[in-house]
Amino acid sequence: MGTPTVGVRAMVGVPDPAAATYALLVGVPFDLSGARSRWGTEARWAAREAEARGDGALNDACAAAMDAWADVVASDAALAVLESRLRAARARVAAAQARLAAQAATARDVALVEQELADAEADHLAARRERESAAGRLREALLLSPSDPAEVAPAYAPSMPPGMTRERAAALALARRREGL
């Protein structure tokens, strides 16, 4: 049922005033088609759709943050490996130069290990750039400022509960199997 309406109409009489017409109109609209109730249903569906879009945007933001976090963790792990490679390459260069000084190696041997050191330094630099890029994506996903640090905890490594040994864990696993071996 709609809002009632009241209308007044006055028409001037032509050719004389006695021909004037006055009318009072009272209206109470009602809906036979049911369209008005569908408007509410449609509005509820539009609200649900908006909530679903918000949930989807939240999921996308969480996924972007997790991807950035994973990239930072992977970059940190790669940097650790490349720093170890860099230390080893520097040690090999020093050893090769010492052998060259003792005339136990050739200049070619020193050049080869120096090339390996240069490759390790280049890979380390590329990994640092990748880590900074991943850290920037993480800051952006978390709405941090560029000056905020993007330090993350290392990825979870498997660990044993306190007081548990591998042998005991294996024995418990075998005892709890459904097959009953």
Q: What are phi and psi of 23, to 5 degrees?
A: -145, 145
Residue 61: per-residue pLDDT: 93
- Best CA proximity match to 114, nearest among 95, 128, 132, 127: 95
pLDDT in tens, 66-105: 999 999 999 999 999 999 999 999 999 999 999 999 999 9
Burial letters 86-125, b for 16+ CB under 10 A, else e = beebeebbeebeeeeeeeebeeebbeebeebbeebeeebe
Q: List, in sequence order, the alpha helices (H) in the chain.
A: 35-101, 107-141, 166-175
Q: For the whole prediction, is pTM greater than 0.85?
A: no
| Selected residue with higher pLDDT from 12 and 43 | 43
- Best CA proximity match to 27, nearest among 45, 12, 42, 5: 5
Helix pair 107-141, 35-101: axis angle to 10 deg? 160
Give percent of the chain with pLDDT exceeding 90.
Answer: 53
The chain-wide mean pLDDT, for the chain, equals: 88
pLDDT in tens, 101-153: 999 999 999 999 999 999 999 999 999 999 999 999 999 998 888 888 888 87
- Best CA proximity match to 78, nearest among 67, 88, 70: 70
DSSP code of residue 8: E
